[in-house]
Amino acid sequence: MKVVKRIPLAGPVLNGNEKKYVMDCLDTGWISSNGKYVNEFEQKFAEFCGVEHALTCANGTVALHLPLLAYEVGPGDEVIIPTFTYIATANAVKYCGATPVLVDCEPDTWNINPNLIEEKITEKTKGIIVVHLYGHPVEMGPIMEIAKKHNLFVIEDAAEAHGAEVNGKVVGSIGDVGTFSFFGNKIISTGEGGMITTNNKQLADKMRLLRGQGMDPDKRYWFNVVGYNYRMTNMQAAIGLGQLENIDWHLGKRRSVANSYINKLSQYSELFTLQPEMDWAKHSYWMVSILLKDIVKIDRDELMKLLESDGIETRPLFYPMHQMPPYYEESTFPVSDQISARGLNIPTNGVLNEEDLNYICEKLIFHCKNNIR
């Protein structure tokens, strides 16, 4: 029986000082949430994004929860989010007792449609969370204008978009707050971890307070508020710093992989399309994603099974929030429904070589061409 090579969808590449810095943590005993690597990772990430403040935290979900807490979002409040996103975006709003209000996506970028936001704003609306989906940024100009008009905060959920840009400005520096994830499959990783960016010192101080159980910074073990244990460890930050030092390599490798896919697949636009890169945007290519055209008669899940039998790991695009039991709504989100049903992520990681990419494209084209209407 022929053994099929396994090509994973994603995975970390630890090709810098990660091991050196972690061994330093082990040798010195600084393995918990205090230590020099936490501070240095925060400082360097703030510089990378071009902001004044960056706060490490336990993961990308709590990175969303902390600013909502700092803005005192609570029961009776509403926060506008895209329906086409990972569930953490909606869950963070729900953790506060507030209601996520869902908006359909654009057919080109797959991100939240700015033209549909204002009709969802009510007297209960406190803010907007945008999601830079799969590494393609949201066009932030119209969002910020709406927010200013209605006195709303804007959080950029950039969990998937480290280094993406809007008109030359790095995501996480455009809204009031930016949030990032460093899960093992992200562009850079700490295993589990997150980061919050902002230029608002008062907000940053409040989030630091809440992140560390609410302990008074001037009086140890004195607590004036109910806080959370949302801290990152020094060892995780050590890995993150090693990754961040090489972020140009990581971003360059993903762009190289994406360009190779584009070159190999663009001539088959009658079968599928790729998430585009708009002329005002710089895509960070967390994932290369394709959308099956109607001419391909097999459904997305069947195609994924065929690719799996070839040793190629893929995954479906996110299921929209309005389809999920906790957030179910009778659908008025046709664009998200269509993209979610017909889209999949294909392998996008730093260890792919040209032989892998040729093989993936060959199998993808073969299965689609042999299953047309």
Q: Tell me, what CATH number does 231's domain have? A: 3.40.640.10
The answer to whether residue 241 is domain-embedded is yes
Shared-domain flag, residues 140 and 265: no
Is 12 inside a domain boundary?
Answer: no
67 and 161 housed in the same domain: yes
Q: 18: burial class by Cβ within 10 Å (0-12, 13-18, 19+)?
A: buried
- Residue 54 lies inside a defined structural domain of this protein: yes
Q: Which of 194, 222, 245 is the last residue of a domain?
A: 245
Residue 11 lies in a domain: no
The backbone torsions φ and ψ at residue 331, rounded to the nearest 5 degrees and listed phi first, read -70, 125
| Burial of 330: CB neighbours in 10 Å, binned 0-12, 13-18, 19+ | exposed
Looking at the structure, tell me whether residues 49 and 157 fall in a common domain.
yes
Of 245, 260, 294, the residue that ends a domain is 245
**Which of 245, 278, 300 delimits the end of a domain?**
245
Residue 95 shares a structural domain with residue 70: yes
Please provide residue 145's backbone torsions phi and psi, each rounded to the nearest 5 degrees: -65, -45
User: Do 268 and 327 lie in a common domain?
Assistant: yes
The span from the CA of 326 to the CA of 91, in Å, is 9
DSSP state of 215: B
Question: Which strands sit side by side in the sheet containing 99-103, from one edge to the other?
Answer: 53-57, 194-198, 177-181, 153-157, 125-131, 78-82, 99-103
Kindly report the number of other CB atoms within 10 A of residue 118's CB atom.
12
CA distance 105 to 198: 26
Three-state secondary structure call for residue 217: coil
pTM exceeds 0.85, yes or no: yes
pLDDT value, residue 1: 46
- Domain-embedded: residue 188: yes
Each residue's pLDDT, cut to its tens digit, for the chain (373 residues) gives 455 789 999 999 999 999 999 999 999 999 999 999 999 999 999 999 999 999 999 999 999 999 999 999 999 999 999 999 999 999 999 999 999 999 999 999 999 999 999 999 999 999 999 999 999 999 999 999 999 999 999 999 999 999 999 999 999 999 999 999 999 999 999 999 999 999 999 999 999 999 999 999 999 999 999 999 999 999 999 999 999 999 999 999 999 999 999 999 999 999 999 999 999 999 999 999 999 999 999 999 999 999 999 999 999 999 999 999 999 999 899 999 999 999 999 999 999 999 999 999 999 999 999 999 7
Task: Please indicate, yes or no, if residue 8 is contained in any of the structural domains.
Answer: no
Q: Are residues 211 and 252 in the same domain?
A: no
Beta bridge partners of 212: 229
Question: According to the model, what pLDDT value does residue 331 have?
Answer: 83
In a domain, 13, yes or no: no
In angstroms, the CA 228 to CA 21 distance is 27
pLDDT at res. 319: 98
Residue 373 pLDDT: 78
Give backbone dihedrals phi and psi of 118, rounded to 5 degrees, phi first: -60, -35
For 132-183, list the strands marked E by DSSP. 153-157, 165-166, 169-170, 177-181
Domain that holds residue 49: 18-104+111-245
235 & 128 share domain: yes
* Count of structural domains, the chain: 2
